[in-house]
Amino acid sequence: MADLNAIKEAVNKGKRKDITGLVQTALDDGADPQVLINEYMIDAMKEVGARFEAKKIFVPEMMMAARTMQTGLDVIKPLLEAQGSQKEVVGTVVIGTVFGDLHDIGKNLVVLMLESSGFAVHNIGENVPPETFVEKARELGADVVGLSSLLTTGDPHVKATVAAIKESDLAGKVKVVCGGAAVTPKFAVETCGADGHATDAVDAVKTIQKLMGLN
Ligand code: B1M
């Protein structure tokens, strides 16, 4: 039987070589991919963040943990993608991490969950300036734009991006949803004027479905 705590430990300690086998064994033993992600891998990243904050580890260790998580997610990804390929496209989402921010793991998870729920998702990457969000949303005919922000120094960029969309020809046509550890619902909706906020990848799907009148 797979040792799920070993998955958490591997992410926590950045043991990238071990993660593929551990995740594959867990999946072969019938573990739920969502449980692996939400209850083990994300939990490990929270612990990594806490140890970084406490100066017990530094950027290289944080990077190794991130790479290990990404490698583990690569094993799970085909399972989630297969769920999405069986569904009709229900909407188009353009999503990126705001200017100045290179964090991508959470955003990529949101992409996976949206795709597995039938959305066509265009991931426009990290460190994305406000005008690129607007251009891509227009070009790709987005119903929703998703902003990810992990750094509190990104707050002005979240605000500027929401404003750029709301002041463009897309106003009233495209909904804006913000997420990521640095963004609170109050900041996203009341301060920036976004249409919604999502706490995690599952909530992102629910929030976007609700804004589009799909549930
Ligand atoms: Co960074 N980092 N980091 N980091 N890093 C944080 C965010 C930090 C909180 C750590 C800490 O101090 N506790 C801190 C920010 C503090 C602050 O601003 N208040 C921090 C810092 C300071 C930094 C640097 C400045 C460090 C330095 O260089 N001195 C630097 C900045 C670089 C930059 O971006 N310009 C930096 C660098 C890095 C690494 C490169 C080493 C690496 C990122 C690798 C990568 O992404 N490829 C890294 C990591 C791994 C982290 C932590 C440990 C983990 C982030 C993560 O991947 N979590 C993080 C600590 C933490 O968050 N607790 C930290 C797992 C992921 C699944 O969760 O991203 O929250 P999360 O996504 C969730 C939800 O937030 C939500 O759904 C996701 C899935 O459930 N969500 C959305 C996210 N985006 C959404 C978009 C939506 C909806 C929901 O749109 C619709």
**pLDDT tens per residue across span 152-207:** 999 999 999 999 999 999 999 999 999 999 999 999 999 999 999 999 999 999 99
- Give the pLDDT confidence of 101-114 residue by residue, as tens digits: 999 999 999 999 99
Work out the pLDDT band at 80, boundaries 50, 70, 90. Answer: confident
pLDDT of residue 86: 73
The greatest distance separating any two alpha carbons of the chain, rounded to the nearest whole angstrom, comes to 55
Q: If you average pLDDT over every residue of the chain, what do you get? A: 95
Find all residues with CB under 8 Å of 5, minimum gap 6, and list them.
40
Ligand 1: which of 12, 103, 197 to mutate, judged by most atoms within 8 Å of the beta carbon? 103
pTM to 2 decimals? 0.96
Query: Phi and psi (nearest 5°) for 60?
Result: -60, -40
Q: Which amino acids bring their CB within 6 angstroms of ligand 1?
A: 42, 45-46, 48-49, 52-53, 59, 62-63, 66, 95, 100-107, 109-110, 146-148, 150-152, 177, 179-182, 198, 200-201, 204
pLDDT at residue 128 in the model: 98
Cβ(192)–Cβ(178) below 8 Å: yes
* Distance in angstroms (rounded) separating the CA atoms of residues 97 and 107: 7
Least confident range of 78-82, 96-100, 204-208: 78-82
Which mutation among 41, 59, 62, 74 tests ligand 1's pocket best, with the greatest number of atoms within 8 A of CB?
Answer: 62
Q: Which domains does the chain have, with CATH numbers?
A: 4-85 (1.10.1240.10), 91-211 (3.40.50.280)
DSSP per position, the chain = ---HHHHHHHHHHT-HHHHHHHHHHHHHTT--HHHIIIIIIHHHHHHHHHHHHTTSS-HHHHHHHHHHHHHHHHHHHHHHHHHHHTS---EEEEEEEBTT----HHHHHHHHHHHHTTEEEEE--SSB-HHHHHHHHHHHT-SEEEEE---GGGHHHHHHHHHHHHTSTTTTTSEEEEESTT--HIIIIIIT--SEEESSHHHHHHHHHHHTT--
Per-residue confidence (pLDDT) for residue 134, from 0 to 100: 98
**pLDDT band (50, 70, 90) for residue 82:** confident
